[in-house]
Chains A and B, each alone.
Chain A
């Protein structure tokens, strides 16, 4: 209960201050009041009494709140305690992995609290916050394309890789990353959008290639796909026989786009579209679909932790890097940077791969990958950047998508409707 009361009070106080012109500086007030409110445990009786008085009269409402505010600020403990940041990431098994891999350790080491929220990617909320000047997120976990766009739009802060922790052997961070990483965030994961199937439906012949995903005659049954052109167009072209390395070249021509949509046409009536990362493994496990595209780590978690009969097909998968970013004008930018530095150290990053099967962009982190922390499975063979999985892989091209996302979204929406 306490946290909500505190949050509510904090907001009321913030607003009273803001609208009465009481606020001394942009951040000064909140820095001072947050620990005050956080350290305060409201006795239940007081809460109930206030609740009762709220019901009686509007005037009492105001008086009670003022009293509370006075109460809260009078007993402010020394500043410095109770600092916190808001971290926004993808939910489900990925969020759980991040918490175990580095959130908990970070909190323990620094005393900085983490408010974890989840979203389904995209820049929308970040943009809305920056443009309205009401930024509440500090750190956000974005796909490459959105990192690129956010950087161009000034929505994200640039981060100098030179400030990051060096590798365990002393190699500076700048030299520890492959070429082509963007500098409006720190590249963390090497993840893949793959397709997987439910073994119960394929007791005889099993799908082995991207072409099989599009083959309803050989492998009948409903498919799950993300409701977005992103990665589906690549799948379609690979499924239609385009070599993985030439996918974006082909997509850059109008005929190539046409070809991708024609391929998608072949399975359109059998597709159920998912929107959140957790839906794909869920639909597979429930038998709503017989195969589905999905983020590889989610399928791994369902396979290994929940013992679901799922199999990943490593062919034609789209592989990209995800980034940890600091939102422009983040309220706690310094703490956020501290957090990102912690999270992207070789040790922390490597620990992510001991909870969920995502590869790491940082070379020295990859070197540390071992077994799953709970299931004891050797993790390397399950990572997207394991050599045996990369045989026919499409490396995501964020620039192409940044340029064509709007256009492809429009086409995709129209295509879905017709």
Chain B
């Protein structure tokens, strides 16, 4: 290992990876200063480059925070995201416990079925959902959107909780049972606390999936259910104003928070391990 670390190959690798990291991060970082642009342009003005304070303004944030459209979109995103996450997390956690039981029959098939929403191309899922939900009068409703986002988010919960279960010592259950705890009590007092990092990170994934989803929303949502990604889509195609960049900055902030939450969870579960 140390042999290649010092050679010219190692330097090439470092430069290559540096460029790759730049490629990954630059587009995200570039948005933030541009969202403070005083002019309605998507590029740095001369004033911005010379750090002239007049070239910067909060007008786009004002538009996003005070505008009925964006606020309505934010609330819709929250309503749909939180409801879908609750649904996906509850069902997903319980199902993952079943899947982790050594007695589970047809495990492969059922696992494949349960994670299928994650791996079927989204356009197909959206088309099918549109056909099916419209026959149930569920298009253009919150219910329809929440159900479809819950379906798309559930596989993440199944995967993370199953992974957490893999490290779970089933003797604890026997111990709890021998101490006279019923299955429900055992679940809440013993299993859930141990599984909680897996459950929470599954929930975060599910929420992020809903937060990022625009294709199903495009097909299914009406005027009343427009979410932030849907508004951004309209914004890019309709009126290209830096207000989108301000909204994007908020979404980046949310991504950072989600990421931090996950990192903390991971640390906790790492340090909890013997």
Binding site for B on A (CB under 8 A): 1, 3-5, 7-8, 11-12, 15, 18, 51, 54-55, 58, 61, 86, 88, 91-92, 115, 117-118, 128-129, 131-134, 136, 275-276, 278-279, 282
Contacts and interface: CB of A to CB of B under 8 A. Distances in A.
Q: How would you classify the secondary structure of chain A's contact residues: helix, strand, loop or mixed?
A: helix
Contacts of B76: 4
B46 to A, nearest CB: 17
A278 B137 contact: no
B45 interface: no
Interface in B127-146: 130, 134-135, 137, 139-143
B75 interface: yes
Given A11-B143, A275-B237, A279-B237, A132 B72 contact: no
Given A12-B142, A276-B238, A117 B75 contact: no
B36 to A, nearest CB: 20
B192 to A, nearest CB: 14
Given A8-B79, A92-B239, 8 more contacts: A1-B71, A1-B75, A8-B75, A88-B223, A92-B238, A134-B137, A136-B140, A282-B240
A132 B234 contact: no
A134 B134 contact: yes
Given A4-B72, A4-B79, A55-B86, A134 B140 contact: yes
B137 A133 contact: yes
Nearest to B143: A15
B82 interface: yes
Interface pairs A-B: 6 shortest CB-CB: A4-B75, A117-B223, A132-B134, A7-B224, A91-B238, A276-B237
A118 B238 CA distance: 10
A252 B119 CA distance: 46
B68 interface: yes
10 contacts: A1-B75, A4-B72, A5-B75, A11-B143, A12-B143, A18-B137, A91-B239, A132-B139, A134-B134, A136-B222
A1 B75 CA distance: 7
Among A5, A15, A58, A92, chain B packs the most CB atoms within 10 A around the CB of A15
Give the interface size class of chain B.
20 to 34
Given A118-B234, A278-B237, A278-B238, A132 B142 contact: no
Contacts of A118: 234, 238
Among B83, B143, B238, chain A packs the most CB atoms within 10 A around the CB of B238
A60 B83 CA distance: 13
A88 B90 CA distance: 38
Interface string B64-107: 00001001100110010011001000100000000000000000
Contact of B86 (A3, A58, A134, A279): A58
